């Protein structure tokens, strides 16, 4: 009388349908170059087995191309936006402080300097907008 018990020894639970069958192929240099370019195009660089399985069984391969330059530009624009907001907050605080603590003549002199800096900031902002439009035009043409 033997009784079989499933003792849990730990580890990963067994798969219901494990992959046991393996196939091997050899490619010449030209075919290998074509295979690698197709693999690179799909974005599955690090999972060649998945690419081969989907290609063999005619499954649809979905991939997303990320433009590193566009991502970097977008990140920099985001930091610019946060800096512009900070400048706006500081601008409001400075104007309130000038109005509250200084005489009208002194406050006007300081506001004149602040106005020059603001005009400079506006010209920089216009350049950023022009560069962004140019960049979007180039990206949309691709």
Q: How many CA atoms lie within 13 A of 95 on its CB side?
A: 11
CA distances from 6 to 12, 16, 91 (A): 14, 16, 72
116: DSSP letter: H
- CA quadruple 82, 83, 88, 90: dihedral positive or negative? positive
Q: Is the pLDDT of residue 142 over 60?
A: no
Give the pTM. Answer: 0.44
- The answer, yes or no, to whether residue 41 has pLDDT greater than 70, is yes
Residues 88-125: tens digit of each pLDDT: 888 888 888 888 888 888 888 888 888 888 888 888 88
Residue 11, by phi and psi: left (phi above 0), alpha (psi -120 to 50) or beta?
A: left
For 24-53, what is the mean pLDDT? 83
Q: Is 64 or 83 the better-scoring residue by pLDDT?
A: 83
Structural domain boundaries of the chain? 23-65, 68-141
Q: Closest Cα to residue 49, out of 28, 31, 25, 30?
A: 25
């Amino acid at each position: 009388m033997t009784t079989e018990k499933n003792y849990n020894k730990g580890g990963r639970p067994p798969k219901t349908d494990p992959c046991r069958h393996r196939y091997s192929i050899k490619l010449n240099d030209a075919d290998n170059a074509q295979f690698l370019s197709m693999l690179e195009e799909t974005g599955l660089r690090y999972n060649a087995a998945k690419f081969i399985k989907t290609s063999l069984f005619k499954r649809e391969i979905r991939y997303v191309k990320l433009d590193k330059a566009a991502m970097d530009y977008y990140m920099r624009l985001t930091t610019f936006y946060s800096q512009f907001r900070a400048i706006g907050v500081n601008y409001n605080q400075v104007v309130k402080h000038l109005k509250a603590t200084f005489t009208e003549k002194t406050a006007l002199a300081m506001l004149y300097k602040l106005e020059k800096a603001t005009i400079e900031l506006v010209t920089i902002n216009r350049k950023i907008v022009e560069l962004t439009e140019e960049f979007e035009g180039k990206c949309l043409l691709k």
